[in-house]
Amino acid sequence: MAYKTVNPYTNEVVKEYSDATPEQIENALSDAHNLYNQWKLEAPESRSKQLHEIADLMRQNSDELAKVMVTDMGKLYREAQGEVELCAIIADYFADHSADLLKPTKLETIATGVAQVKKHPLGPLLMVEPWNFPYYQIMRVFAPNFMVGNPMILKHAAITPGSALAFEKIVKESSAPDASLVNLFLNYDQVSDVIADPRIQGVALTGSERGGKSVAKAAGENLKKNTMELGGTDVFIVLDDADIETTAEIAWRARLYNAGQVCTSSKRFIVAANLYDQFVAKLKENFASVKPGDPMDNSTTLAPMSSKKAKEKIQSQVDEAIAKGANLAYGNEPIDSPGQFFQPTILTDIKPDNPAFSEEMFGPVAQVYKVDSDQEAIDLANTSDLGLGGIVFSGDQKRGEAVATKIETGMVFVNNFMVSLPELPFGGVKNSGYGREMSDLGLNAFVNEQLIVTTDKPNMDNLAGGLVATDPE
């Protein structure tokens, strides 16, 4: 059975689940379709109270919800509680702002009559989500689309079935209709079948390039609108006038949060030559200070990786990087624990022909590069095929911003760590995907922006005019 919770701290197989049956799939599709037909007649504000209720239920059950994630994928309990709170913040935000953001917009036009764009739901969606933020990834799609009126079917990662069920249970416990979100343990063929079903109108995937390509292909073949939130090799650029103390304090956290398994983790540290030695020394010191241990223990600062497979993958990437000439500046020692821990590791002197130069390393491994100018930092940042996020540190905010705008990614923060909040759009360019989640952009991702032009009588004078029927005034 593919869907299985294996606690990565203890290696205990906690529970296994069978794939969805054809009957479960059909019920989910038909319930979603029926709910869409009901929701399309209702205004978004009619769902606001229910979404607030979901936020409240998440807060009330924060402890239990956090523990499910800790067991599923090893996240630190403290960070898991933060994730539950963030989900509640996202739900509250969309509950409060969606009705306004979805109001019709009037257009200035030379056409006869009044032109406006009205926003309608598209229909049921499939969301395919990864394990690294088991609830937050769901909420980013769920909250806006619940308000729009698109019922959702969830296909979660095979290693986080407990989290999928826990999220679904919260929705069921609220007064929202059960079909608002239905979890199905779908195998890959079933994912393709669901995408092909005429009742499904859109697909949102967060995951790897590999997963994204497969699901986008199925969506394309069936002409289904889709958004792709894929991987990143985000830079953390330190310009020569940056405050090294603040920068260093943020750098190690930006890499090690969630055991380094974040799409927007800083993965490539690009440091001005005058600060390079100091930066590497401080990064080593901070990496050496983390304490691996039980993720439920609040004194633990390094979580295990999400699975044995994830640890083996990062180990093989580090081994290959070193074999191909990278310098091991720190780490890569075994950690004495049966848990899936990987020691924070620093690699330097990575040349463009090294596979590590272009791969995403999804774990606690920092690559550090030395540069002699802002332009060299920008050029190095833009060598990546991925374009998700990035951070720039400079003593001069304007200079930081000038560098930030030249980085080919969807998001850049200057003099701060990256944060994800409902009012800020989230997403990337290049092979990091397309479309945006969160903010008004995410809210409008799966909306029928319908043009309505009304007049009390047509402009008969221009009847022969073909496409352009203008008002003589």
- CA distance readout (Å), 92 to 85, 119, 383, 443: 11, 21, 39, 14
Annotated active-site residue 263? The verdict is: yes
Backbone angles phi, psi at 241, to 5 degrees: -105, 15
206 is a site residue for ligand NAP (CB under 6 A): yes
Of 188 and 417, CB closest to ligand NAP: 188
Tell me how far, at minimum, the Cβ of 463 lies from ligand NAP, in Å. Answer: 50
Q: List C-alpha distances in Å: 383 to 234, 302, 408.
A: 11, 30, 9
Q: Compute the least distance from the CB of residue 396 to ligand NAP, in Å.
A: 30
Question: Residue 465 CB, nearest distance to ligand NAP (Å)?
Answer: 47
Cα 197 to Cα 126, 179, 201, 202, 245, distances in angstroms: 11, 17, 9, 11, 55
Judged by CB under 6 A, does residue 128 bind ligand NAP? yes
Q: What is the DSSP letter of 193?
A: H
Q: How far is the CB of 208 from ligand NAP (least distance, A)?
A: 3
In this complex, which beta carbon is closest to ligand NAP, that of residue 73 or of residue 350?
Answer: 73
230 interacts with ligand NAP by CB under 6 A: yes
d(CA 400, CA 415) in angstroms, rounded, equals: 8
Residue 132 is a binding residue for ligand NAP (CB under 6 A): yes
Q: Which residues pair with 17 in a beta bridge?
A: 3
Q: Identify which range of 34-42, 202-210, 343-351, 411-419 contacts ligand NAP by CB under 6 A.
A: 202-210
DSSP 3-state percent helix, strand, coil across the chain (nearest 5): 45, 20, 40
**Stretch binding ligand NAP (CB under 6 A), from 29-37, 204-212, 233-241, 320-328:** 204-212
**Given 129, 168, 229, 360, which residue is catalytic?**
229
Pick the binder of ligand NAP from 31, 72, 129, 234 (CB under 6 A). 129
Using CB under 6 A as the binding rule, whether residue 207 contacts ligand NAP is answered as yes
151 versus 433: smaller Cβ distance to ligand NAP: 433
DSSP one-letter string for 209-244? HHHHHHHHHHHHHTT-EEEEE-----EEEE-TTS-H
Tokens representing residue 223 in the block: 């002409």
CA distances (Å), origin 206, targets 26, 138, 160, 203, 432: 24, 9, 14, 10, 10
Q: How many CB atoms lie within 10 A of CB 394?
A: 24
423: helix, strand or coil: coil
Query: Binding to ligand NAP by residue 360, rule CB under 6 A?
Result: yes
In whole angstroms, the minimum distance from the beta carbon of 70 to ligand NAP comes to 18
Phi, psi angles (nearest 5°) of residue 402: -65, -40
How many Cβ atoms from other residues are within 10 Å of residue 169's Cβ? Answer: 16
Residues near ligand NAP (CB under 6 A), total = 28
- Candidate residues 20, 314, 350, 388; the one interacting with ligand NAP per rule CB under 6 A: 388
**Among 155, 255, 311, 370, interactor with ligand NAP by CB under 6 A:** 155
Minimum gap (Å) between residue 132 Cβ and ligand NAP? 5
Q: Which residues does the annotation mark as catalytic?
A: 229, 263
Contact residues for ligand NAP, defined by CB under 6 A: 2, 128-132, 155-158, 188, 191, 206-208, 210-211, 214-215, 229-232, 263, 360, 362, 388, 428
